[in-house]
Every structure is written in C-alpha cells, then in structure tokens.
C-alpha cells in the first residue's frame, strides 16, 4: 500500500519517537482510539439520544467546529506514535458525515495503524458499504436492539424498520467485510425478550452478536440500575436453549467476554461494564467530533486538541499534550460505580458525564 505522506513520519513526528508510549497511573498503555466524526444521529434511541432532550431545536455542532478530515488524520498519526494501533469511527451516526470514504483512505495511509473499523446504526449502510470497503474499511459493527419491529421502533424512536438494518448487514457481508459484529443494548422492560431470538438469528448467519449491558453514559437517559439486564441473566437465557462455553480473550483490553456455542456454530460476546467492570485493562482514548480528548467513556470533561492545532501547535506540541494527559490518567468509573452500589459503598459519582452521542461509545 502507498503510505503517501506518512511514509517517513507518523503524524509529522519522527518514528524515532514511536517508542515513547505513555503509561497511565494504573499501568495502562494507549492502544485504541475511538474517533467521533459527528454528534448528529438520525435515530433517537431512548438510552442514548432521548427525543425529549434531542428535539427539533437541539443545537448540534456547526460544521466549522468539527475536525476536518485532515485534522483527524493528523491526530490519528500522532496517537499512533503513542501506541495506538486500532481506530474506530463513531458518532452520533458516522455515516451522516459526508465523504467518509475519504477519511478512511487517509487513515489507511498511517503505517502504524493495524485496524480501522466503524460502528453504525445501519440505516445508511446498504447504500454506502461497498464504497467504504473499496476505501479500505475491513470491519464494521452494527447496532440492532431487536428483530421485533414494534420493539425496535420503540427503541430507536423514529420508526426505522428492522429490515433496512438487516439489508445493510447483508450488504456488508457481500462487500467482503469480516467479521461483522452486531451490538445489542439490553434494557429491562424494553427488549430482554429479544435476547434469544437475536442470538439464534445471527448464529444461523455466522455473524458475531455482542450484548451490551445498559450503561449510565451521560445523564439524559434516566439510567437506573434496575433497568440493567445483567451479563449472567443474558448468558442464562441463551445457554438454556443453545449451550455455551467460555472463550479466552484474544487480546489485552478486549471489552467483550466471549462465549462459543458448544456445537461449534459460532460465538457471542457480552460487554458487562456495569456488573463486571473491566477498567483495569482499558486502553482506549476517545476523540470527539470537535477535537476534545476524553480518557474515559464516563468522563465529565475533556482536553482540547483542536484549539492548539488551529492556533499553530506543532505535531510535537500536540504529542506532548496527549502524552501528558494520558500519564496522569486514573479513570476507573465502572469500578467505582460498582462500589457505590454495594450496601456499604460511599463513592459519590458525578452525574454530569459526557453524553454518548458526543463521545461515540
């Protein structure tokens, strides 16, 4: 592959600095960068962008405040010198960002980056996935919370049909993307009855289904612990009909606990941030669409990278800032939340956390 302007340097910083990988206060390196390319979405999922908050008059970011593709690629290159090897494009809904294939091609020129993937609600996937594949995207995750039309419509709150998301998944499969992962947020009283039908459907089609415990990201979704369907509950429902066996993690920091069907027909994963926190292995940094660096999904403030870049900061200046932020990182919100839910827990958790639509999951 032609690495273009990144051939001699990574993000404009000499590769001799690539060994300067920062370690945070809890001994965690930086390995993954999640890049939100927009704060807009065409769904109003109740657990992420509830309509009563994100209504017609909600003020989303103006275009001038979004990072340009050149700025995103520049930052991704700088993060690569600090140990990042995996990039995930998120939103909002990332496929709402015009000409996203251009960004995928630019990111593919960074030599240290080993994996570029994208998370989408699937609504625009069928019409865009082949262009994304041609640009170099090889993996994709699609959010789908039920196969039942009424349940899914109630959760996405715009009446979007299941069939259109499934068409996008099959288009991704036809484009050659492997593996295709499907993410299902499970919320009690909403879609827990869809767990087994979802598992059965995607098992038969060879796609990897990942269940996500309903999390308290942000503060607009009215999260309550009682609404969480635990990983053990999810596993029990599936195992009762399609027996499972635990699989080892494939790499340090993997967020999903993996389970294989005993008959060898595939696997499922469970992201159990609430009942089984994995903060100790977290290697993820997050970049918002307007250039704020967050070191935790549950943080309440970020660190501005766009401002210094637009004011003339060199790549080395930005690298030093990112490194300094990471070295003092001590985030472990999910572990603290677990302590706070115990009878004797005394941890006070800040309710003013960044919203999912801004930080991108």
Residues 163-189 have pLDDT tens digits of 999 999 999 999 999 999 999 999 999
Question: Which residues constitute the domain of residue 236?
Answer: 4-359
What pTM does this model have? Answer: 0.92
Cα torsion through 216, 219, 222, 225, rounded to 10: 30
pLDDT in tens, 180-235: 999 999 999 999 999 999 999 999 999 999 999 999 988 888 888 999 999 999 99
Q: Residue 27 above 50 pLDDT?
A: yes
Provide, rounded to the nearest whole percent, the portion of the chain with pLDDT above 70.
92
Q: What is the mean pLDDT of residues 275-288?
A: 95
Q: What is the mean pLDDT of the chain?
A: 91
Sequence-separated (6 or more) residues with CB below 8 Å from residue 77: 6, 9, 10, 11, 12, 13, 110, 315
Show the tokens assigned to 25.
Answer: 């206060």
pLDDT of amino acid 358: 87
Rounded to the nearest 10°, the torsion over CA 297, 298, 301, 302 is -10
Q: Which of 239, 229, 179 is CA-nearest to residue 209?
A: 179
Which tens digits make up the pLDDT trace of 39-81?
A: 999 999 999 999 999 999 999 999 999 999 999 999 999 999 9
CATH number at residue 247: 3.20.20.70
* Residue 360's pLDDT band (cuts 50, 70, 90): confident
Which runs of consecutive H residues, i.e. helices, occur in 180-332? Answer: 195-205, 231-239, 306-310, 315-327
345 pLDDT higher than 50:
no
**Taking residues 268-272, what's their average pLDDT?**
97
- The C-alpha atoms of residue 279 and residue 116 are separated, in whole angstroms, by 23
- What's the confidence (pLDDT) of residue 205? 95
Angle CA 187–192–194, to nearest 5: 125
Distance CA 33, CA 119 (A): 13
Per-residue pLDDT, 351: 59
Q: Is the backbone peptide bond immediately before 266 cis, with ω within 30 degrees of 0?
A: no
User: Is residue 49 within 8 Å of residue 55, measured between CB atoms?
Assistant: no
Instruction: Band the pLDDT of 1: cuts 50, 70, 90.
Output: very low
Give 5's pLDDT tier (boundaries 50, 70, 90).
Answer: very low
The pLDDT tens digits for 137-164 are 999 999 999 999 999 999 999 999 999 9
CA dist., res. 299 & res. 293, Å (int) = 10
Sheet of strand 257-261, all strands in order from the earlier edge strand to the far edge: 244-246, 257-261, 267-271, 208-213, 180-186, 139-143, 115-120, 86-90, 32-36, 284-287, 292-294, 303-304
More confident residue, 193 or 347: 193
Asked whether residue 26 carries a pLDDT value surpassing 80, the answer given is yes
Task: Give the pLDDT confidence of 93-137 residue by residue, as tens digits.
Answer: 999 999 999 999 999 999 999 999 999 999 999 999 999 999 999
Asked if residues 10 and 110 have their Cβ atoms less than 8 Å apart, the reply is yes
Look at the chain and report how many structural domains it folds into: 1
């Amino acid at each position: 592959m032609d690495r273009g302007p990144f051939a001699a340097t990574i993000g404009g910083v000499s590769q001799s600095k690539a060994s300067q990988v920062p370690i945070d206060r809890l001994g965690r390196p930086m390995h993954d960068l999640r890049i939100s390319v927009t704060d807009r979405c065409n769904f109003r999922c109740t657990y992420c962008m509830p309509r009563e908050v994100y209504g017609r008059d909600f003020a989303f970011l103006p275009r001038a405040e979004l990072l340009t593709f050149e700025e995103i690629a520049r930052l991704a290159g700088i993060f690569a010198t600090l140990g990042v090897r995996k990039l995930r494009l998120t939103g909002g809904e990332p496929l709402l960002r015009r000409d996203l294939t251009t960004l995928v091609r630019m990111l593919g020129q960074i030599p240290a980056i080993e994996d570029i993937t994208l998370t989408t609600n699937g609504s625009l996937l069928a019409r865009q996935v082949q262009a994304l594949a041609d640009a170099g995207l090889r993996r994709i995750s699609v959010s789908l919370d039920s196969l039942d039309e009424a349940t899914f419509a109630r959760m996405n709150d715009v009446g979007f049909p299941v069939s259109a998301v499934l068409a996008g998944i099959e288009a991704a499969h036809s484009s050659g993307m492997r593996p295709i992962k499907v993410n299902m947020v499970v919320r009690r009283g909403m879609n827990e009855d869809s767990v087994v039908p979802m598992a059965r459907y995607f098992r038969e089609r060879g796609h990897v289904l990942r269940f996500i415990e309903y999390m308290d990201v942000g503060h607009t979704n009215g999260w309550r612990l009682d609404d969480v369907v635990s990983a053990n509950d999810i596993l029990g429902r599936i195992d009762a009909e399609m027996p499972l066996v635990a699989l080892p993690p494939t790499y340090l920091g993997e967020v999903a606990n993996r389970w294989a069907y005993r008959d060898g027909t595939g696997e499922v994963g469970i992201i159990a941030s609430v009942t089984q926190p994995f903060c100790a292995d977290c290697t993820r940094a997050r970049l918002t669409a307007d250039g704020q660096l967050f070191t935790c999904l549950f943080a309440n403030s970020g660190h501005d990278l766009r401002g210094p870049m637009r004011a003339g900061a060199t790549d080395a200046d930005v690298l030093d800032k990112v490194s300094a932020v990471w070295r003092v990182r001590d985030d472990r919100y999910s572990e603290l939340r677990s302590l706070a839910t115990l009878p004797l827990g005394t941890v006070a958790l800040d309710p003013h956390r960044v919203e999912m639509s801004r930080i991108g999951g």
